[in-house]
Structure 1
Amino acid sequence: MKVIQTKWLPLSIYAVGLSSMPVLADISPQIINGNEAAKGSWPFMVALVSKNVDAYEGQFCGASFIGERYVLTAAHCIEASSNQDFEVVIGVSDLSSPDVEQHRYSVEQIYAHESYTQEPASNDIAIIELSEKPAEPTVSLVDGYVRDNLNAGQMLTVIGWGDQNSSEEQYSSTSQLHQVNVPLVSQRDCNLGQGDGYSDIGADAFCAGYKEGGRDSCSGDSGGPIMISTNGHYEQLGLVSWGEGCAQPEAYGVYTNISHFADWIGKKTAGFSYQTKVMLGARPLGPIEHKFEFTNKSDQEINVTNVSLAAGTNDPITYNGSAIIKSNSCATLSPNEGCDVVVSYNIDSVGKHDFGIKVSTDSLAGVVTSKAHAIGANEVSDTVNALVTIPKNAVYSTEAWDVEGNTIASPDIANNKSTAFIVDGIPAGTVSLDLSVFSEEKHDYMEIYINGFEVSAFAGLLSGTVELPMARAKDNSFMIAYSKDEVGSAGHDRVTIKNFAYSNEIKELSLVEDPTIKKTGGSMGWYWLAMLLGGAMMRKLLLSLKRKGTQ
């Protein structure tokens, strides 16, 4: 059993309905105050697990297998991941069982809802496309009318491998899948829930649970299914999304409403495969080219009717208007046929850049958008490079970072400006370094990114040793960024790093603080703990709004 003393993560569950699955007999109690699920009782249940990590230790969210090559989960579970960062395990009740690897599948693409937001939480749904078609049974999803026709009090079933302790201080779970029954709550009572965010809940979500608390989904259950028994069979009604704590009085569990997203799910599972977001990492200033690839994974012909730049959707701060379509091979695609569009872009300044294309099709997928994100940067001096004593391809920075003995320090920057330090081309393993932050509490922030995705944010004073897992087989990267707000200053207003080391063992992300330095200010962010615990604790947020799940 995992027993961990600090518990501050979010969680969000989406799930898919079960096709022709017989109703399971009730089993007597132990999720929060639920029961251990019988082996094989939920063969469509999916665990999202970190790549190159044991399934039990690496499980961070739930999901459901909805057929063909598609898995349904919560957007917050995958928003900080690419297809290279995690895998799925389907139909295994015990994540420590010896046959887990036979049910483990790689990820081809990820499709988060285009309008997903964290605060207020909305449209918390995503589709994962697998590299192959699994043989496991699927779950049936309810149609677009079921949710509105259900009465409050209707009993629903939630399943997951998440937290089984409702306290804020301790997280505990086992490798065994658990389940719990909770009643549907009226939308009026849902909006009256005690905690931030409940009054903002709209038609895209619903609540379930007891007014007095006691039974609930919790950390690590995010993205998993909540189901209704219909005519002797279970169908998926929603996905675990968020909640104010776990099993607390008048703080219901919040679930994504699958009925609301029936059309969206159909579009994303129509078989037109593409990468929605490509993280290119640091790039030297000058022109670059990127190839956007598309594949027809359906069993019918798909016609690409138009290809255009997606400049209209880009932030003018990060898009300079220089994108040009150099070539386009997309026209009529037979089943399993692919095409590509090559776009050139001029990175003319340091900082964030993005560009993309819109592709129109005559398939159910309709119009899709694919974007590339890069950071314009300069290679550091030989002196700085020599201090980064780990295997790598290059070291970049957006402004020249300083050297003080064996320490690399961020440069002085003006208010409302930022600076970044990037190490690229790192092999699989773990990078450790000593990190110190001296910033204005609640205003100026240090952020850490791994492979283009943010895993931490901190404001205040902090000093310690950080271990950063590099989980991809090759070409990993990390970035340390420091940003100042519009006004004010405190301390040294900078970040320092030193004592780089590398191990070929992939360890958990961790921070060991220097006990001689008094820590102040904001949290390292729920991403830290999510990754530190393999993402397993995805329901407790360290802020007042505590969501289930996120990586």
Structure 2
Amino acid sequence: MNSRNNFALLFAVLSWFLIYTNAQYRIWNGKDRNIEKSPYLASIHDSGIYICTGALISLQMVLTAAHCVAYSRGNLIVVEAGITDLDDTTEDGQMRGVESIHHPCDYSPETGHMDIAVIKLHTPFRRGSRVEIIELCDTTLNLGTKMRVSGWGATSGDNERYSCTLQTTNVNIVLTQECAPMAAILGNMITESMICATRDGTSPCQGDSGAPGVVKGKLCAVVSYGICCANPSYPTVYTDVNNAKVRNFLRDAMAWLS
């Protein structure tokens, strides 16, 4: 790994520490959600450890945040679909290895710009009541739009373990200017690939990275980063799936990988 990659990895680790120090690590005030209500969700594991959430945009492709997988070894990543509880061995989950990982050339771990990635699996998932794909958003999100976000984020401030059971909550789209002070704390800037959302008392948090923001049954955003979880003064930053550059990347990646 060259010095630039070393710096990027160090920056990513430091950013995560700054983002989530003194926060309660979970989707705050979320509710349990059965996977059959969100069958497009998948959990992403690195070396046997859960790291992020993703969404099935085809039976062989998973959409997530680039920072989850950009510096991982693909042969150590496993994606699981069809489960509500990460620890329930009786659930009929499906696990798949990774063939390749693709993220935009201009993805920046320093700013979070274009924080999105497509994982291609070795073999497709089997469609069923607990496993289904989700369509990409085709409309611009307006101020105040309600968006559902779900994931398996960690459950306590000591960060000892993630939530075993899938959690979900609703947040509202806010002006990107409202994210700027929070981003500045981290030395970041809000770019055109980002949108912001918040709601008093609830939000995604660590372990929910890569989780889809869903509006009217379509995938419109991907959890990127945040600070002081569930604090309305610090909205969560998402990658905007309807942004032209993001959409072009997804179209090209899906066409090339198909």
TM-score, normalization by structure 2: 0.82
Decide whether the 8 Å contact of 2:82 with 2:92 is kept in 1: no
| Cα distance in 1, alignment partners of residues 162 and 252 from structure 2 | 36
Q: Is the counterpart of residue 218 in structure 1 residue 205 in structure 2?
A: yes
How is 1:512-523 mapped onto 2 (pairs within 5 angstroms)? none
Question: In the alignment, what sits opposite 1:71?
Answer: 62
Decide whether the 8 Å contact of 1:193 with 1:251 is kept in 2: yes
| Cα distance in 1, alignment partners of residues 67 and 234 from structure 2 | 20
Q: Is the counterpart of residue 139 in structure 1 residue 122 in structure 2?
A: no
Decide whether the 8 Å contact of 2:169 with 2:202 is kept in 1: yes
Decide whether the 8 Å contact of 2:35 with 2:41 is kept in 1: no
How far apart are 1:92 and its partner, in Å? 1.1
Decide whether the 8 Å contact of 1:69 with 1:131 is kept in 2: yes
| Cα distance in 2, alignment partners of residues 198 and 247 from structure 1 | 21
How far apart are 1:73 and its partner, in Å? 0.7
Partner SS for 2:87: coil
Question: In the alignment, what sits opposite 2:42?
Answer: 46
How far apart are 1:225 and its partner, in Å? 0.6
Q: Which has the higher helix share?
A: 2
How far apart are 1:171 and its partner, in Å? 5.2
Cα 1:75–1:10, aligned 2, differ >3 Å: closer, same or farther?
farther
* 2:233 alignment partner, one of 233, 245, 250: 250
Q: Which has the higher strand share?
A: 1
CA distances 1:55-106 after superposition (whole Å, capped 9, x unpaired): xxx1110110101411101110002212211110012111112255741011
- Which amino acid is 2:234 matched to? A
Q: Is the counterpart of residue 238 in structure 1 residue 210 in structure 2?
A: no
- Which amino acid is 1:215 matched to? T
Cα 1:198–1:103, aligned 2, differ >3 Å: closer, same or farther?
same
How far apart are 1:9 and its partner, in Å? 7.4
How is 1:341-490 mapped onto 2 (pairs within 5 angstroms)? none
How is 1:217-366 mapped onto 2 (pairs within 5 angstroms)? 217-229=204-216, 234-260=217-243, 261-272=246-257, 298=258
Q: CA RMSD in A?
A: 2.4
| Cα distance in 2, alignment partners of residues 159 and 198 from structure 1 | 27
> Percent same amino acid at aligned positions?
28
CA distances 1:385-440 after superposition (whole Å, capped 9, x unpaired): xxxxxxxxxxxxxxxxxxxxxxxxxxxxxxxxxxxxxxxxxxxxxxxxxxxxxxxx
* 1:121 alignment partner, one of 91, 105, 112: 112
- Which amino acid is 1:141 matched to? L
Question: In the alignment, what sits opposite 1:186?
Answer: 175
Cα 1:9–1:140, aligned 2, differ >3 Å: closer, same or farther?
farther
Cα 1:99–1:70, aligned 2, differ >3 Å: closer, same or farther?
farther
Decide whether the 8 Å contact of 2:211 with 2:222 is kept in 1: yes
* 1:36 alignment partner, one of 23, 29, 32: 32
Decide whether the 8 Å contact of 1:77 with 1:223 is kept in 2: yes
Question: In the alignment, what sits opposite 1:499?
Answer: none
Cα 1:185–1:197, aligned 2, differ >3 Å: closer, same or farther?
farther
Q: Is the counterpart of residue 205 in structure 1 residue 205 in structure 2?
A: no
How far apart are 1:117 and its partner, in Å? 0.8
- Which amino acid is 2:254 matched to? T
Decide whether the 8 Å contact of 2:198 with 2:232 is kept in 1: no
Question: In the alignment, what sits opposite 1:95?
Answer: 86
Question: In the alignment, what sits opposite 1:400?
Answer: none
Partner SS for 1:244: coil
Aligned residues: 232
| Cα distance in 1, alignment partners of residues 112 and 236 from structure 2 | 13
Gaps of 5+ in 2: 1-15, 21-25
Partner SS for 2:238: strand
How far apart are 1:217 and its partner, in Å? 0.3
CA distances 1:191-232 after superposition (whole Å, capped 9, x unpaired): 34475258711220111003xx42110010011111112xxx
- Which amino acid is 1:50 matched to? D
| Cα distance in 2, alignment partners of residues 170 and 270 from structure 1 | 38
Question: Relative contact order, CA 8 A, sep 6+: which one is greater?
Answer: 2
- Which amino acid is 2:89 matched to? P
Point out the structure with max Rg over C-alpha: 1
Cα 1:175–1:88, aligned 2, differ >3 Å: closer, same or farther?
same
Decide whether the 8 Å contact of 1:191 with 1:198 is kept in 2: no
Cα 1:125–1:39, aligned 2, differ >3 Å: closer, same or farther?
closer
- Which amino acid is 2:17 matched to? W
Cα 1:248–1:97, aligned 2, differ >3 Å: closer, same or farther?
same
Partner SS for 1:226: strand
Partner SS for 1:200: coil
How far apart are 1:249 and its partner, in Å? 4.2
Partner SS for 1:247: coil
Gaps of 5+ in 1: 1-6, 12-29, 273-297, 299-551
TM-score, normalization by structure 1: 0.40
Decide whether the 8 Å contact of 2:18 with 2:186 is kept in 1: no
Decide whether the 8 Å contact of 1:71 with 1:129 is kept in 2: yes
| Cα distance in 2, alignment partners of residues 10 and 191 from structure 1 | 14
How far apart are 1:47 and its partner, in Å? 0.5
Decide whether the 8 Å contact of 1:192 with 1:199 is kept in 2: no
